[in-house]
Amino acid sequence: MPQNRYRKSHKKPTLIAMDFESILVPEIWISIAKKTRIPELRLTTRDVPDYDQLMKKRLKILAKNNLSLKNIQSIIAEMEPIAGAKEFLDWARMNFETIIVSDTFYEFARPLIQKLNHPTLLCHLLETNNKNQIIDYHLRESGKKENAVKAFKNLGFRVIAIDDSYNDTDMLKTADIGILFNASSNVVSQFPQFSSCHSYDKLKTFIQKV
Amino acid sequence: MPQNRYRKSHKKPTLIAMDFESILVPEIWISIAKKTRIPELRLTTRDVPDYDQLMKKRLKILAKNNLSLKNIQSIIAEMEPIAGAKEFLDWARMNFETIIVSDTFYEFARPLIQKLNHPTLLCHLLETNNKNQIIDYHLRESGKKENAVKAFKNLGFRVIAIDDSYNDTDMLKTADIGILFNASSNVVSQFPQFSSCHSYDKLKTFIQKV
């Protein structure tokens, strides 16, 4: 078989890289803010643009309120995936390699990941002291979501990325195909190059089409 | 906190990258050879060192014997993971990110991956014609197992790699920690730098230690 024809027909497996919060589960810090009734924990990078400042602020608030990692984990354990998320994810994993790329922490995500039947998750780590207080956080080096997409492209996958927010449009741009899911109308109108939808059924249809 | 101290204490999440055949499931081509009673399908790269020649030979044998992809898939669907493999993998996925890196094909692996509760699998693709005959195969670009290990290291993981064969020792060398599992005594004695074991219980103990 001539080299050319082979190259031309070279097929790639598809990998779906999707965000976690707002895509499969509710926003974790907002759920913690609600349950603890500490409105300051609702702050996001929209309010405090420097992520390190924001995280240090959050950890101070937890310490001030004597909330240990275990306390937070038991709040998160009561959270549920978004209705239909597990069925959508099961379908995606049955048909494609599907991984979750998130800026949450393994220690927070674990109970939700269990409810979703253990998909692969790339995220970050927390550090606790001997009183189980969260004293620091460790972002993965190259933790930016678009780096995960690049890595899987380099490993020979065609990557479909799914995300919701302005911050993550670099991940969508880096992927072979980017889809906005549950994004605000503001983000949708700023990025007309990406398909956008708000239901798992439509998301399935988009994925099947491409 | 001074930059230095932070760097020093930087924690990385652990990711386990393990091979599929001989580690979690029996060798697929050998199982096909047994079921079809076609001993030529037992040939491996030990017999035909050029992988492309070997694969073309295998596809010719399947064609000559009128074996379609569906026929092969129904043979594979009768295979079972190695005893204890699912329990080991469940444990690994509960405690670490765990992915499978294999030189098999998605079309072959699917029924076994289902029995193992859908872990993430990086492998290759087959191509069929309209008669469901396998006419070609497509290796992922950068499909070498050590490239997957490199990619996850670059994404900020500490990688533990588990494999069985001489061919895959580059993957073990590239990882932060390499473990030989179910390897021949020949390979074990040639690579004394890697821990080696033949039971999932010992494998668990090794992983917990490192």
Res. B5 pLDDT band, cuts 50 70 90: very low
Q: Taking Cα atoms as reference points, which of B32, B53, B45, B24 lies closest to residue B137?
A: B53
Select the residue of B124, B141, B156 nearest A143 (Cβ to Cβ). Answer: B156
Global pTM value: 0.93
Site of tokens 């930059």: B3
- Contact criterion met (CB below 8 Å) for B71 and B107: no
Residue B192 has pLDDT above 50, yes or no: yes
How many other CB atoms sit within 10 Å of the CB of residue A208? 8
The stretch B16-37 carries a mean pLDDT of 96
Using the Cβ of B4 and the Cβ atoms of chain A, whether some distance falls under 8 Å is answered with no
**How many angstroms separate the CA of residue A119 from the nearest CA in chain B?**
7
Distance CA B114, CA B135 (A): 25
Domain boundaries, chain B: 3-25+82-209
Interface contact flag, A122 B155, Cβ < 8 Å = yes
The stretch A30-43 carries a mean pLDDT of 95
Distance CA A26, CA B152 (A): 27
- Contact criterion met (CB below 8 Å) for B138 and B127: yes
In tens, the pLDDT along A184-207 reads: 999 999 999 999 999 999 999 999
Residue B205 has pLDDT above 60, yes or no: yes
- Contact criterion met (CB below 8 Å) for B109 and B121: yes
In tens, the pLDDT along A91-136 reads: 999 999 999 999 999 999 999 999 999 999 999 999 999 999 999 9
Tell me what pLDDT residue A8 has: 40
Using the Cβ of A155 and the Cβ atoms of chain B, whether some distance falls under 8 Å is answered with yes
Residue A7 has pLDDT above 60, yes or no: no
Select the residue of A10, A141, A155 nearest B156 (Cβ to Cβ). Answer: A141
What angle in degrees, to the nearest 10, is found between the helix axes of A145-154 and B145-154? 170
Tell me what pLDDT residue A21 has: 95
Active-site residue flag, B21: yes
Of the listed ranges A3-7, A155-159, B138-142, the one predicted with least confidence: A3-7
Of the listed ranges A5-19, B73-87, B157-171, the one predicted with least confidence: A5-19
Residue B154 has pLDDT above 50, yes or no: yes
DSSP A77-146: HT--PPTTHHHHHHHHHHHSEEEEEEEEEHHHHHHHHHHTT--EEEEEEEEE-TT--EEEEEPPTT--HH
Tell me what pLDDT residue A174 has: 97
CATH number for region A3-25+82-209: 3.40.50.1000
In this structure, what token pair is assigned to residue A30? 């907002």
List the 91-150 stretch of B: residues with Cβ below 8 A of A: 93-94, 97-99, 106, 114, 117-125, 127, 136, 138-143, 147-148
* Average pLDDT over all residues of chain A: 93
Residue A57 has pLDDT above 70, yes or no: yes
Using the Cβ of B9 and the Cβ atoms of chain A, whether some distance falls under 8 Å is answered with yes
Q: Is the ipTM of this complex over 0.90?
A: yes
The stretch B69-77 carries a mean pLDDT of 97
